[in-house]
A and B are shown apart, each in its own frame.
Chain A
Amino acid sequence: MTTPLRITYREAVKQGIRGALLADPRVFLMGEDVGRYGGCFAVSKGLLDEFGEERVRDTPLSESAFVGAGIGAALGGLRPIVEVMTVNFSLLALDQIVNTAATLCHMSGGQFPVPVVIRMATGAGRQLAAQHSHSLEAWYAHVPGLRVVEPATIDDARGMLRVALASPDPVIVFEPISLYNMEGDLTDAAAHVRLEGARVHRAGSSVTLVTYGASLWRCIAAAEVLAQDGIDAEIVDLRSLRPLDDATVLASVRKTRRVVIVDEGWRTCSLAAEIGQRIVEQGFYDLDAPIARVCTEEVPIPYPKHLEDAALPGCERIVDTVRRLLGHAV
C-alpha cells in the first residue's frame, strides 16, 4: 500500500482520461472546449499539448452531431470519450443517446454494440441557475441499453473511466459539478474499481442512507451530526445507476431496518422512487419504518445561494428526516 495522494476530483478525472489516452491508441476525447480552453471545468487542461488535436478534439456547439459522431466512431472501431458540458446540454443529444446508442446493439441482433463513453457534469451547488444545474440521471437510468455511473469519490473518479471504456456498451458517466474542487485521497483501490456495484461507504447500524453523487458527501456530513446523537448511519453509495445493485442496498436494509434515500433529482419519477419501490418489493418485511426520501425540491434550480441550498437535499434535511424516522425530537 503506497501513501495516498491528496488530489482534487477534477485532477482524478483528468488522470483517468490521461491514463486511457496513454493506454489505448483507439481512445480519443472530444467535446466542446476540451482542447484549447482546457475543458469548461478545466478537467482536460494540458491534454491537448500532450496528445495533439486529433486525440483531444474540440467540437462545434453541435451536441447531437458530435455525440452521434462518437457513437459512429465507436462503431468504426475507436473508443471515444465524448464530453458534454452538462446534463442540461445533453438534452440536445438525447436523440442520439436514447434512439441510437441505446438501441443499435439490440436492433442489430447483437451485431453492433456501441462502446462509447459519454461524460457530463451534473447537479447544482455552484449558483449556475436552472439551465446548468439539474440532476437528470434518472432520465438516462430509465433506458435499457445504457449503463449509467456516477463516481462520487476520488478513487472512482480516477478509476471508473478505465472500466467504462472497457465496456462494450454505451456508458454515461456523470460528474457532479460541485465535486470538481473537492480534495481527497487517491488510493491503490482506484486501480481496481468496478463499473457496477454499490459500495457501503460508511458502516452503521441505526439507519441506511442510500445515495449517489454529490449527495454522498451530504450524507457523510449528516452521519457525523447524527453520530453525536448516538445514531449510527450506514451509507450506501450506489455508484452505478443502471444497473442498480439491489443486493447491496437490501443487505444494508436487512441490517438497519430503516432507509432514507437521498437523491439530488426531483422526487417525482426519481431514482429515489425506483430504489424505494425495489426495497418494498424485495425487503418489505425487513422494514421497521416507512421508507423516507430527501430529494431536490420540485423547482428549477434558483440562482441565489440561499434558495439553491434550500432546494437541495442538504445535511440538515437529511438529519431531520433521519431523526423523525427514528422517533427522535427534530
Chain B
Amino acid sequence: MSGLPDGFKRERGLHLLRQMLRIRQFEDRCAELYGAGHIRGFLHLCDGEEAIAVGVMQVLGPGDAIVSTYREHGHALARGVAMGPLMAELYGKRAGCSGGRGGSMHVFDAATRFYGGNAIVGGGLPLAVGLGLAEKLRGTCNVSACFFGEGAAAEGEFHESMNLAALWRLPVLFICENNLYAMGTALARSESQTDIQVKAAAYDVRAAAVDGMDVLAVEQAAREAVEHARAGRGPVLLEMRTYRLRAHSMFDAQLYRDKAEVEEWRKRGPLTTLTTRLKAAGLMTEDDFQALLREADAEVAAAVEFASAAEWEPVEDLARHVYAEEVTP
C-alpha cells in the first residue's frame, strides 16, 4: 500500500471513504435483513469490492450509461440511486427503484441511466455495446460502462462484445471485477489464461490490470479509460483485481476457499487501506471516521425505515409492465 499522492485533499479522501462506507454499511445491514426475512430471493453482497464502484463512478457524468450485474448495490449507490428506493426494491415494495419487480438482482433507475441489474452472467455486455452504439450514432460524447465479474470472461458474450465494440470503436468501458471466484469456482479452474486483461489484445482493445482494492488507483485508471473512450478511440477493458469478502450469496457455505485467505484479503480491504492512509497522512482523525460511520448508519437506518413503511403493490397490478404502457399501433 502506497501513501497518498502529493497535494491530496482531505475533502477528497473523506468523500471517497464516505461513499465506500455507505455501501459497506448498506450491505452489512442487508445481511441482517436477509436473516430476518425482510429481503428474500438471492442476495449478493459486494463487501471488499467497494473501491471499484466508487472509483469508477467518480469519472462518469450524468449522460453516461451504466450496465451492471446481480452484485450491483454498490454500483447503484455510488451512481446516485437513492438509498431508500434501493432498499425498498430489496424488500420488493412498490416504492422500490424498479417498482419492486426486480429485487436485489435487478436494480434499475432511469434518472441515473442505470440499466440493471443483469443476472445472466455476461448478459449485460451486449447491452452496453448497444448503449455505446446509440451514443456514437447520436453523436454524443457519452460512454457506457459495463460491470461484470471475471466469470463472464468464460462466456461467449464477453468475446463477442469486445470484438464488436472494438470493430465499431464504440465508447464502452468494460470493467471486469476479478474477485477470483465465479461463485465457487476459482479462476484457475475455469480459465486457461487467468490474466483476464491480456484477452483484450485478441480484439485490439486497450486494457489494463488495476489494483481494485485501491480506490485511487481505480479512479485514475477509470479516468484515463473514459478519456480514451470519449475521444472516440474505442473501448477499454479494465481488470479490477479485487476480492469478495463475503460469501457469493446468502446460500454459500464457502467450502471452496480457506478462511485464512479471506483474512489475508480483509487486511487489504479498500476501506481499511484508505482509512489507514488518510490517518497516516494526518488528513483524518478517528473522530472524523466515527462521524462518517454515524452518517452512513443514519442513512441506512432511514432507508430501512422507508422500505419498511412502503406499501406492497396491489395484486391487481400483477400484469403491469409486461408491455410498455402506451397505446400500441
Interface residues of A (CB under 8 A from B): 28, 54, 59-60, 62, 64-78, 80, 95-96, 99-100, 104-113, 115, 144-145, 147, 163, 166-169, 194-196
Contacts and interface: CB of A to CB of B under 8 A. Distances in A.
A68 B129 contact: yes
A273 B6 CA distance: 73
B130 A72 contact: yes
Contacts of B16: none
B321 A73 contact: no
Interface in B127-173: 127-135, 137-138, 144, 156-157, 160-161, 163-164, 167
Given A65-B157, A76-B131, A145-B322, A112 B108 contact: yes
Given A76-B134, A106-B101, A69 B324 contact: no
Interface residues of B, number: 49
Contacts of B322: 105-106, 144-145
Interface of B: 65, 67, 96-102, 106, 108-110, 115-118, 120, 123, 125-135, 137-138, 144, 156-157, 160-161, 163-164, 167, 320-326, 328-329
Given A78-B134, A95-B120, A195-B329, A68 B127 contact: yes
Contacts of B163: 60, 62, 65
Given A72-B128, A75-B131, A195 B328 contact: yes
A113 B106 contact: no
Given A76-B144, A105-B322, 6 more contacts: A68-B126, A78-B138, A100-B123, A107-B101, A108-B106, A110-B325
Nearest to B325: A110
A167 B161 CA distance: 27
A100 B99 contact: no
B126 A96 contact: yes
Nearest to A114: B324
A104 B144 CA distance: 17
A92 to B, nearest CB: 8
Q: Which of A54, A71, A73 has the most CB of B within 10 A?
A: A73
Given A68-B157, A77-B134, A110-B320, A100 B101 contact: no
